[in-house]
Chain A
Amino acid sequence: MNFKNFIYFNCLLLLPTAAFSQGVAIKLHIRGVYESKITLLPLIGTNALKPIVERAGIKNGETTILSVSKDILPTEFVLRFDYKEKESSSPYPCEKHIFISNQNLELWVNPMYCNNNDSSYFQKDEKENTVFARFTKENGKQKEKLGLLQNFLMNYDDTQSQFYKQGTEEYQKRRNNYNHWLKEQATLHKAMFVSHTFGFQYLPQIVFNGSETARQQSVIAHYFDGIDFKDTLLLHTNDLKNFITAYVNIYASLAKTQADLDSLYPLIGKTAIEKARLGNPKLYGWMVDYFYNGYESTNMPAGIKMLEPYINDTACLTTKRQAIEKRLKGIKTLTIGTLAPDFMLKDDAGNDVLFSKYKSVRHCEGGTARPEFISGTEAISAKYKLLLFWSADCSHCKELVGKLYTWYNQQPVNTPNGASYPLVEVFALSLDESETEIPIWQNAITQLPGWKHIRCEGGINSPEANAYLYSQLL
């Protein structure tokens, strides 16, 4: 063997080790079905719920290996099987949640029963998923009785009775025991990633000697008692988002009216962010991102205004600083009574026209959605223009547009001089720009006749979005 061949030979030997050091391998043995497609989707991060690895046509008895880059580890994944029981069968899905940390995994799977431990199981020395499964089973047993007792006490009407007092004492005793067990489990398995999810199960203190609202408020006040906001591995858990969403829902349940709710949402965000602010800057930033996304998706300027001091805090590692700044500028400058920013669009004849000068041309004949708006063929102006930014690929936008369109078709019609046209003309500005989004938008607007549809080239960075200081759609 000459020197050149020696290097080549050694490189071949090193390849599996090099590939191995790049991440984690999951060896899958498929059985019990004709064939299966296998997809791995992370539950968090920028690729959340998007396939990062796919293998198609893995037959009964075959083995395949999925590699996962260590950059995104540790975290929780969905391992999805689209299996055909027989060659002629249609694919049917089965999803299994798995944790991947730093250990290579080997999994024997019958995709028809991918969550049945007798049919689908890991190698004997597997750690994360085995510990999590044992913890989940024991935790369920321990929490079941506590949950029943808590529900009973939270809704009991005679809070002055001896019986109620005994019940609350029993609950506090069991709660302390449970939280002690939880802490023991976290310490015992502290080397495991899954142990960082245990804190989400912590049972906070409840002050029982008060009204039902007071009890709810005490749950809210102690909600984060079991969470260590210095622990950055919480950012790798899927539970963090669910935990905060549950907090928002519990807090929001205090509202009696829509006005209560509108004023509560910024307060909910502020309370949660203040807790995270005392922890790691990444968690602090994550919390700001979470509430910004929520306020933006529900179009809540008061919530976005609440975020202002946090984006001015350099300790806050938010990824949304620029977007929030842009929105805050929009909130401050685009106020009621100011001139609507102008932009160019095409009129019905295809000519460039300023938005401020735009007039619709309505035709007598033809299948327009609102023939009652028609008065010959002439340029008309509604009393108001409604400008709406949206994406046909955004669930919140679709909900908003659906309700708006229903109202649009029922709105009163102005009829000065015998001509009829809508009170409000809708300009729906689409920020869709990707190859997958544009066809969805093209299809969606066929269901929304009567509106003026404009697709903004450049999406969120388009001249139209910039003019109106729009920064994000969800």
Chain B
Amino acid sequence: MFLIDNKTNKICAIPENTDKLKQYLDEISKK
């Protein structure tokens, strides 16, 4: 899976599964 930032159209994560997607979004929301 490719997670793409809609503003920059750049790949911001390549999560292997839903858990890793959640983990990335949780981390990014804390920044």
Interface set of A (CB-CB < 8 Å, partner B): 298-301, 334-340, 356, 381-388, 400, 403-404, 406-407, 411, 423-425, 468
Contact = CB atoms under 8 A, between A and B. Distances in A.
B9 A340 contact: yes
A356 B9 contact: yes
Contacts of A400: 17-18
Contact of A386 (B3, B7, B17): B3
* Chain B interface, DSSP helix/strand/loop, else mixed: mixed
Among B10, B12, B18, B22, the most chain A Cβ lie within 10 Å of the Cβ of B18
A385 to B, nearest CB: 4
Interface in B1-23: 1-7, 9-14, 16-18, 21-22
A346 B21 CA distance: 26
Contacts of B17: 299, 400, 403
Interface of B: 1-7, 9-14, 16-18, 21-22, 25
Given A387-B1, A387-B2, A424-B3, A336 B14 contact: yes
Given A299-B17, A340-B11, 19 more contacts: A300-B16, A301-B16, A336-B11, A336-B12, A337-B10, A337-B12, A338-B10, A339-B10, A340-B9, A340-B10, A356-B9, A381-B6, A384-B6, A386-B21, A403-B17, A406-B18, A407-B22, A423-B25, A425-B6
A382 B25 CA distance: 13
Nearest to B6: A381
Contact of A384 (B3, B14, B16, B22): B3
A340 B4 contact: yes
A334 B14 contact: yes
A301 B14 contact: yes
A394 to B, nearest CB: 14
Given A298-B16, A336-B11, A383 B21 contact: no
Contacts of B11: 334-340
A468 B6 contact: no
A385 B1 CA distance: 10
A453 to B, nearest CB: 15
A298 B19 CA distance: 13
B1 A384 contact: no
B1 A386 contact: yes
A403 to B, nearest CB: 4
Contacts of B4: 340, 384-387
Contact of A404 (B10, B12, B13, B18): B18
A468 B1 CA distance: 10
A347 B5 CA distance: 19
Contacts of B12: 336-337, 384
